[in-house]
Structure 1
């Protein structure tokens, strides 16, 4: 039996060599991490739900012309993706004050921001992913000014689309993190959306109840993470068969 070559392993995913040159297989793990891996656990079924939700969102973004690394879902836990050169930035788009923004600026969580704010964090576990400016990014060569302009334009476009999509199913997109990569096709290069978009990297609140339907349930020891992710999938019209063998913890009840 052939063993797949592991290319990279992160906190929530593993990348394997793909079946064709220029492709990778992205495997979603059940690991849940927070505070730069200082808090860690395994939550059965999380990877299955993230795989399905991310597939759906990437497909929808592709339909409106957002370039992505996504090719197709292979099974319950894996996707076939294009190999890209990841830009070492986490791009965070904020619509409502929450998380580190509330802490840093003393803004009450839940405060609507005057406009969507784009922040950049340098991808470095050793440095705890520090907040950086456009000056840092271009000075250290992490991205060129034209690349950064493309990243910002795509990030805001993605935010507009996803905000409307989630609003339509009674969910507020508070903020989310995304990553971008350079896709080389011969001598041509273009910037594409990479990694994933799922409740692991979004803050999603029920519009009526303000229930948290995202990884804050793990960060804040609220319980019910898988049930929250299942609720997001259900509202998006997705059917995820048996993401776990057992169900435990509180179940979210949608208000009428």
Structure 2
């Protein structure tokens, strides 16, 4: 099942997308938020579709696509989680997951314009698999328990400013990750029954030129291991977003230039959808 949110920023309409069309979810929920995701969203939505109580949304194809989840309470990210990316970064594969944070206001629509921060010279792209939490999660006893706590999966672009992240960071990565809009998300939240999370192709392009092309099978820590590990340190709430790392092929690896105003980035994960963002100068957005 695919959930999405369509419409202008701050006024998004929750929808479910099926083979037959796009249906308004407002008879079931006010938004694709934690409360909805924690209360059998698939079962409730399927029952409403079968009962004919969800109306088709007129003009759905013409509406802006928002992030498929309402603003999460937390965005938790895993660093250097693909073996080839760790190598291109000049690092040994980590023995335990590396964790950093993004702020909730980084989460925007998949095709929204991204502003390069003031003073940035090293803005970078990162296609990532995002995991959306469905039930409150703390102190899981095993990785196998994680599956029951996942509402679904999304495409994300973990936009980064590498000088802020590495050179003026004070040892913490988040400074280069938290600019507003630095986490385009979506277009859809796809439920786990439709996703083989261990075999997903991830790709990115800059100005239509290929950059990243990998598979989640190259992950050092898989999705369930990540959720289990995080649960030992943080209580995850329904609607929270976990970014699981990026594969090789980013500018930080040294093969490609960093982003400049006017560049266009595409990211895609098979079965989860496609994003396209134009990057603009900070001065143009003041």
TM-score range, shorter chain: under 0.3
Q: Which has the higher helix share?
A: 1
Give the alignment's TM-score, normalised by structure 2.
0.24
Of the two structures, which has the highest relative contact order with CA contacts closer than 8 Å and spacing of 6 or more? 2
Give the alignment's TM-score, normalised by structure 1.
0.26
